Copies of this chain bind each other. A is one copy, B any other.
Amino acid sequence: MRATRFFISTLKEAPADAEIISHKLMMRAGMIKRLGSGIYNYMPMGLRVIRKVEAIVREEMNRAGAVEMLMPVVQPAELWQETGRWQKYGAELMRIKDRHGRDFIIQPTSEEVITDVARSDIKSYRQLPINFYHIQTKFRDERRPRFGLMRGREFTMKDAYSFDRDVESMKKSYAIMFDAYVRIFQRFGLQFRAVAADNGAIGGTGSHEFHVIADTGEDDLVYCPTSDYAANIEAAEALPLASERPTPTQAMTKVSTPGTVKCEQVAELLGIGLQQNVKSLVFAVDGNEEGSVKKQLWLLLLRADHELNEIKMQKVPGLANARMATEEEIIEWFGTEPGYLGPIGAKKALNIVADRTVANMSDFVCGANEANFHLTGVNWERDLPLPAIADLRNVQAGDPSPDGKGVLAIQRGIEVGHVFQLGTNYSEAMKATYLDENGKPQLLQMGCYGIGITRILGAAIEQNFDDKGIVWPTSLAPFEVVICPMGYDRSEQVKAETESLYSALVAAGVDVILDDRGERPGAMFADWELIGVPHRVVIGDRGLKEGKLEYQGRRDTEATAVVVADMVEFIKAKLAA
């Protein structure tokens, strides 16, 4: 490609609404252009990267035996009503009406449509297993779109859906996809981590997320450096930090702790470690309207330095629909204000759940259910009965790994892929069956597998940039190599060598752009460093006098002189590295 036949439009400054580095750099590099809130034009430079992402995904999906098709952007509401997601999905589902007043949606995902295809076109066990995928435009009407391609409204996603005869076979299909995803992310040239994940609203029995590692990621990834264990913090199991409860050494004592509504303040006042304190979190579960089910209040107990994991909490039987209790409710149940709450002496009956670690604490401190007073030296089964015990907290770095093979570390990641074992969630709702060997209808076992194609761009940049701009891995770069001639239109020799190298690289199958715009060197170099092309060749009269060209990798601090005749092989070696 010649730059004069392409479209390059870089900016010195990012627009004010660009908050994160990938958004800023993509705007400045002219890769995307905002059309509306969360809606972007993919400019020629950005589209080239998208196409490279798509090509790698497509090749690996095909290699894994998935079959490409294409489901529509606009989908009839009826199918979404069959599964109940028309009601459940919320405001992110873009609902529309056609000229006849019929309801449609713009697809955020395609479980319903593919299950509709499956129930009519998969007739026999002989057609199984089958895995359909497509790469399609999606829409999610985010309340607050931001971060460029990281949380846009319109985006491109690869979604695949596997259909199997039984759970065992479905798990095989899932494993094949998992492996394909690993290959895909390896080929992207990105640091990534696959972590066990919570299934969330999509339902099903097991899932993994694929994260691009980046300090700016929104997710905490928990992993064990000395084993295979890895999970999203949402799903990472927290073991009790002591294997058994120490013997009590203190008597329970009510102490005056005026003005200490936070555990940190109590610990400081009492001169003890924060880890000796137990914090009280209060949730409410509403009753029904007729009053046959009454409102209940729940007291959750965590060690003061631990964080509640709401997803784990919602899995405690009875707490699926819990909400934070109001101050009025707290006063009604505890007889005191928040800040001095505890499991002993509440006014009204409570459900109490202690985190695993709390259940193994002795001589701990908690609120006395009386303003400005705490209890110290509290001990289970002496001062109060042991309540229900559950894993309620987020793990912390240094916690024991659930597989018993080391201690946990935490890093941040950006979710770009998600694989799910759906089981029969959708096939049951939509009656999607096949006939088995005995001619009996059986529900199809499903899996689904997504990759955020356009999100990959943002994540790759969050992981790979410097103060000059983007640093694309070669496999995703809009061009692998840029040739920057110094004085292309002034020097016959520069022009001749430039054309010769350009033709040779094109013939060698290298994705090269020749910057024939006639820009000054400084502006030209700044453009390509901003755009992030990984390999640059500079051709100038000075070097040519010595028969040499200049090579510089995007991360190199200095250029390397390369003999003219060796440059093609030199570049090929760099690309193969």
Contact B43 A76 (CB under 8 A): no
Interface flags, A104-119, vs B, CB<8A=1, else 0: 1010000001001100
Q: Which of A79-134 contact B (CB under 8 A)?
A: 91-92, 94, 96, 98-99, 104, 106, 113, 116-117, 120-121, 127, 130, 132
- Complex: A73 Cα to B155 Cα, angstroms: 10
Q: Mark A28-63, 1 if CB is under 8 A from B, else 0.
A: 001001011001111110010010000000000000
A9 at the binding interface (Cβ < 8 Å)? yes
Q: Is A488 an interface residue (CB 8 A)?
A: no
Q: Is A74 an interface residue (CB 8 A)?
A: yes
Determine if A44 and B71 form an interchain contact, defined as CB atoms under 8 angstroms apart: no
Determine if A36 and B6 form an interchain contact, defined as CB atoms under 8 angstroms apart. no
Min Cβ gap A159→B in Å is 13
* B7 and A73 form a contact (CB under 8 A): no
Decide if B72 touches A40 in the complex (CB within 8 Å). Answer: yes
Shortest beta-carbon distance, A140 to chain B, in Å? 11
Which of B9, B104, B121 interacts with A9 by CB under 8 Å? B121
Contact of A39 among B41, B76, B94 (CB under 8 A): B76
**Interface residue count for A (Cβ, 8 Å)?**
49
A117 contacts B33, C-beta separation under 8 Å: yes
A382 beta carbon closer than 8 Å to chain B: no
Copies, count: 2
Q: Which residues of B contact A121 (CB under 8 A)?
A: 7, 9, 30, 33, 43
Query: Cβ of A67 < 8 Å from any Cβ of B?
Result: yes
Task: From the candidates B69, B76, B94, B141, name the one contacting A42 in the complex (CB within 8 A).
Answer: B69
How would you classify the secondary structure of chain A's contact residues: helix, strand, loop or mixed? Answer: mixed
- Find out whether the CB atom of A153 lies under 8 angstroms from the CB atom of B35: no
CA distance A69 to B41 in the complex (A): 8
Interface residues in A237-296 by Cβ distance below 8 A to B read none
**In the complex, what residues of B have CB within 8 A of residue A68's CB?**
44, 47
User: From A116, which residue of chain B is reached at the shortest CB distance?
Assistant: B35
11 new A-B pairs (CB below 8 Å) besides A7-B132, A39-B72, A74-B94? A7-B67, A7-B121, A35-B71, A41-B71, A42-B71, A44-B68, A44-B69, A50-B70, A72-B137, A73-B139, A96-B106
A selection of 7 A-B contacts at a CB cut-off of 8 Å is A36-B72, A39-B76, A40-B72, A44-B68, A74-B94, A74-B154, A96-B96
